Amino acid sequence: MVFNLYIYSMFYFFSGISAVLTNLTMGLITFKKGRKKPINILYLLFSIFFTLYIVARLFTFSTNSQVAYYFDYFMSDLFKASGFAWFYSLCRGYDKRKVSILYTTGLLIGIGAPINYFFFKNLLGIWLNVHILFGLFIIFYGLFVLAKASIMVPII
């Protein structure tokens, strides 16, 4: 039983490290192809936040500490916001105002979880609901944006 847990832990660790390296490599390659293009910059930011989210997941799994848990929570909101900002810009075109609103929203929701726990000692408080609603908004609005963008594309 302990041996199986060790194998699982090592597999989780090495798959996380390979995901980190692959993700950063793809982000840097994309960024180098067009440093001035906003889409490439957004993809690099998405890659960096995704990498930090993977690292946070690895620390959460290996240490099982509350600090790692809240770093994971924080990075998941930034990861979702940056991924959606990149996706939205691909479908609708780059809009600096909307991208900055998305990043600010992800940052505020991510910061809300540690503040909620450390100052109010309420683990399953309102911020968990806000976190879930933010994720649902990204999923459903992303599907709407994708459907609208695919309808607008002419079929040849």
* Domain coordinates in residue numbering, the chain: 2-152
Q: Give the angle subtended at the CA of 76 by the CAs of 71 and 79, to the nearest 5°.
A: 120
Distance CA 40, CA 114 (A): 31
For residue range 48-98, list pLDDT tens digits in order: 999 999 988 888 877 877 778 788 888 889 999 999 999 999 888 899 999
For residue range 11-62, list pLDDT tens digits in order: 778 888 898 999 999 999 999 998 999 999 999 999 999 999 998 888 887 7
pTM of the model: 0.83
**Pure H helices in 1-156:** 2-33, 38-63, 66-92, 96-120, 126-152
CB atoms within 10 A of CB 4: 8
